[in-house]
C-alpha cells in the first residue's frame, strides 16, 4: 500500500511542485485546503480553516508523513502591525491545529517536515556565514521564524521526527519572486537594488522539493537545515546574471534604497538586506544539489 503524505499549503508554488514529485515517487498525496475541491485519482483534498481552528481529522489520521508549508506570504502586503501579527499567527496556529489532532489521537507519524526560512538569521548585511547553530536575529524576520520553529517543537515533543527546512529565495518561473522580476528584465529595465551587495541565498524549486523528499526518506535527518546554495550571490550579481540569461547587459543605475523604502515601507528589508548561509549540513547527509550554478538555474527556469 502506498505511503500517504499530507501537505499543508499544497496548492501553492512549492506545494504544486512537491505534489508532482511525490506522486512520481509512488506516494499518495493529501492536501489541506480552505475551499472544497474535488478529489482526483492521485490527490485527496481535506478541508481546514486555521482561523476557526477547524480541520478534517481524517487527513491527519490517514497520513504517514506531514509536510507543513502553510503560512501567510511574508512579502504579500506591507508590514503593518496587523499584518505582522497575521504572518506570525498563521504559522503558529496552523501548526497548533495539526498538533492538536496528533496529540488527541496519539497519532504517530513517520516524520513531520516543516518549512522555515533563512530569515531566522535576520534582515542583516554582513560577511558572516550563518549555519544552523547561528542564533535567531532580534528583528521581525528572526522573531517570526523563531516562533514558527518553536511551534514545530511541540510536534517533536510527541516523539515524532521533525525537520525544519530553512529556505532561501526559491527560483521558479511560474511563481515566486522570479515571476515578478522576469517581465521587468525582459523590458530591459532591470537593475540592482540599493547597494547591490546584499547576499541572496537561492535554491531552484526542483532542488527544494528534493530537499523535502530527502528529509522524508532519510530517518537520520532531523532538526533544522539550510536549503540554499552557498555561492555568495549578491543582488548585483543576481541582477547581472538574470539580464545575461535574458540577453542583454544592465544599463540602468542601481535603484536607490530610499525609493524602495518609499514603495515597500519596512518590508523593503526583504530586498535590501541578505545574509550568507552554509549548506554544509544538508550536504553532509548525502543531499546533492542539481543546480549550484546561478546562470544554469536561471536558464532552466526561463526555459520551462
pLDDT over 90 at 36, yes or no: no
Is 187 buried (19+), middle (13-18) or exposed (0-12) by CB count in 10 A? exposed
The per-residue pLDDT of the chain, averaged, comes to 95
- Evaluate if residue 304 carries a pLDDT over 70: no
Which residues touch 291 (CB under 8 Å, ≥6 apart)? Answer: 171, 203, 204, 206, 207, 229, 297, 300
Mean pLDDT of 23-49: 94
Q: What is the pLDDT of residues 110-129, one digit of tens each?
A: 999 999 999 999 999 999 99
Residues 205/165, Cβ–Cβ less than 8 Å: no
pLDDT in tens, 169-196: 999 977 778 988 999 999 999 999 999 9
pTM of the predicted protein model: 0.96
Measure the CA angle with vertex 116, ends 112 and 120; round to 5°.
Answer: 140
- Structural domains in the chain, sorted by start: 4-172+202-227 (3.40.50.720)
pLDDT digits (tens, 9 = 90+) for 70-113: 999 998 899 999 999 999 999 999 999 999 999 999 999 999 99
Residue 1's pLDDT band (cuts 50, 70, 90): confident
Cα distances from 178 to residues 158, 238, 272, in angstroms, run 38, 11, 16
pLDDT computed for residue 175 by the predictor: 77
pLDDT for the residue 162: 98
Helix (H), strand (E), coil (C) string for the chain: CCCEEEEECCCCHHHHHHHHHHHHCCCEEEEEECCCCCCCCCEEEEEEECCCCEECHHHHHHCCEEEECCCCCCCCCCCCHHHHHHHHHHHHHHHHHHHHHHHHCCCCCCEEEEEEEHHHHCCCEEEEEECCCCCCCCCHHHHHHHHHHHHHHHHHCCCCCEEEEEECEEECCCCHHHHHHHHHHHCCCCCCECCCCCECCEEEHHHHHHHHHHHHHCCCCCEEEEECCCCCCEHHHHHHHHHHHHCCCCCCCCECHHHHHHHHHHHHHHHHCEEEECCHHHHHCCCCCCCCCHHHHHHHHHHC
Amino acid at each position: 500500500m502506498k505511503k500517504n503524505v499530507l501537505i499543508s499549503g499544497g496548492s501553492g508554488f512549492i506545494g504544486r511542485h512537491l505534489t508532482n514529485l511525490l506522486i512520481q515517487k509512488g506516494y499518495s498525496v493529501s492536501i489541506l485546503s480552505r475551499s472544497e475541491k474535488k478529489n482526483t485519482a492521485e490527490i485527496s483534498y481535506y478541508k481546514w480553516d486555521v482561523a476557526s481552528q477547524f480541520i478534517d481529522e481524517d487527513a491527519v489520521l490517514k497520513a504517514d508523513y506531514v509536510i507543513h508549508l502553510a503560512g501567510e506570504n511574508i512579502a504579500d502586503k506591507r508590514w503593518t502591525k496587523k499584518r505582522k501579527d497575521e504572518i506570525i499567527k498563521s504559522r503558529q496556529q496552523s501548526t497548533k491545529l495539526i498538533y492538536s489532532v496528533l496529540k488527541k489521537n496519539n497519532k504517530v507519524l513517520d516524520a513531520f517536515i516543516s518549512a522555515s526560512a533563512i530569515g531566522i538569521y535576520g534582515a542583516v548585511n554582513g560577511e558572516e556565514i550563518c549555519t544552523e547553530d547561528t542564533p535567531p536575529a532580534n528583528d521581525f524576520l528572526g522573531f517570526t521564524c523563531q516562533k514558527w520553529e518553536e511551534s514545530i517543537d511541540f510536534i517533536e515533543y510527541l516523539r515524532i521526527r521533525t525537520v525544519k527546512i530553512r529556505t532561501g529565495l526559491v527560483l521558479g518561473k511560474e511563481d515566486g519572486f522570479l515571476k515578478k522580476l522576469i517581465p521587468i528584465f525582459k523590458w530591459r529595465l532591470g537593475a540592482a537594488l540599493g547597494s547591490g551587495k546584499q547576499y541572496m541565498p537561492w535554491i531552484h524549486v526542483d532542488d527544494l522539493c528534493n530537499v523535502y523528499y530527502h528529509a522524508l526518506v532519510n530517518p537520520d535527518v532531523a532538526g533544522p537545515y539550510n536549503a540554499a546554495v552557498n555561492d555568495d550571490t549578491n543582488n548585483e550579481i543576481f541582477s547581472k546574471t538574470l539580464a545575461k540569461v535574458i540577453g542583454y547587459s544592465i544599463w540602468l543605475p542601481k535603484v536607490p534604497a530610499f525609493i524602495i523604502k518609499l514603495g515597500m515601507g519596512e518590508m523593503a528589508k526583504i530586498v535590501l538586506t541578505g545574509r550568507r548561509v552554509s549548506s554544509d549540513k544538508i550536504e553532509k547527509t548525502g543531499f546533492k544539489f542539481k543546480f549550484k550554478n546561478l546562470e544554469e538555474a536561471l536558464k532552466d527556469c526561463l526555459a520551462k
